[in-house]
Amino acid sequence: MRPKRRPSRQNDPAGLKRKVLDAAFSMFQARGYNGTSMQELMAATALSGGALHHHFPSKKSLVLAVFKERVAPAVRETWIEPVRAAASLGAGVQSVFEQIIAGLEGRGAVSGCPLNNLALELSLADPEFRAAAADVFHEWQEALSERVRDTRGGRDLTKSARAEIAAFIVSSYSGAMTLAKAEQNAKPLRSTAQTLKRWLQSRQLDS
């Protein structure tokens, strides 16, 4: 008697999709979007081309899903939620830098901020990639801007002045992460955290 054939359709499509997104997020982070082929993703996930294409008909649809379902949640978890939960903007920013520095030093390698990496690699290539990156940057800055309003120095500022402060925090963090990646060393993040701390204090934006 021949054994019954196993159903050829995948029984856990959500799990499969998760697996592809996890692999793509980590490979894009390590080698970049253009440095990762769909073939390598198939090998890393042990999926057939057909199964991969069923979920993500193109590499473009895959990276857009990575922005939405991996990069944006990473920024929420690393930056937005801790800053919202902190006693003040200043305390939140410091604790985020400390967590990130501790993580880098634990891993012994600096692969950089996933949003930074993909935004720089892809923003010129395609308007949808650019919009996906800009959306995440906006959400991040919006959350910081809200916390600026809660501070002594920030409560009477205009919306646009608060937005400038948020953009400055994001810029100095992103740039420090670029330096840290080029040096493979957390020192630029440590030094930027110190300078930002003093700057926030001097403008009464820390409490």
For 56, phi then psi, to 5°, come to -130, 95
Q: Dihedral of the CA atoms 175, 142, 90, 106 (nearest 10)?
A: -50
Q: Does 188 bind a copy of itself (CB under 8 A)?
A: yes
Q: Does 45 bind a copy of itself (CB under 8 A)?
A: no
Count the helices and strands in the chain (H runs, E runs): 11, 0
Pick the binder of a copy of itself from 133, 143, 186, 205 (CB under 8 A). 133
For residue 180, what are its two tokens?
Answer: 């840290």
Question: How far apart are the C-alpha atoms of 98 and 15, rounded to whole Å?
Answer: 33
Q: Does 207 bind a copy of itself (CB under 8 A)?
A: no
Residue by residue, DSSP assigns 71-124 as IHHHHIIIIIHHHHHSSSHHHHHHHHHHHHHHHHHHHT-----HHHHHHHHHTT
| Residues in the chain, overall count | 207
* Minimum CB–partner distance for residue 175 and a copy of itself (Å): 3
> Which range in 13-21, 81-89, 150-158, 193-201 contacts a copy of itself by CB under 8 A?
193-201
Q: Are 146 and 81 in contact (CB under 8 A)?
A: no
Q: Does 44 bind a copy of itself (CB under 8 A)?
A: no
Nearer to a copy of itself, 21 or 119 (CB): 119
Q: Does 128 bind a copy of itself (CB under 8 A)?
A: no
Q: Does 192 bind a copy of itself (CB under 8 A)?
A: yes
Q: Does 112 bind a copy of itself (CB under 8 A)?
A: yes
Pick the binder of a copy of itself from 26, 88, 95, 178 (CB under 8 A). 178
Binding residues for a copy of itself, per CB under 8 A?
A: 30-32, 34-35, 109-112, 116-117, 119-121, 123-125, 130, 133-134, 137, 163-165, 167-168, 170-179, 181-184, 188, 191-192, 194-195, 199, 202
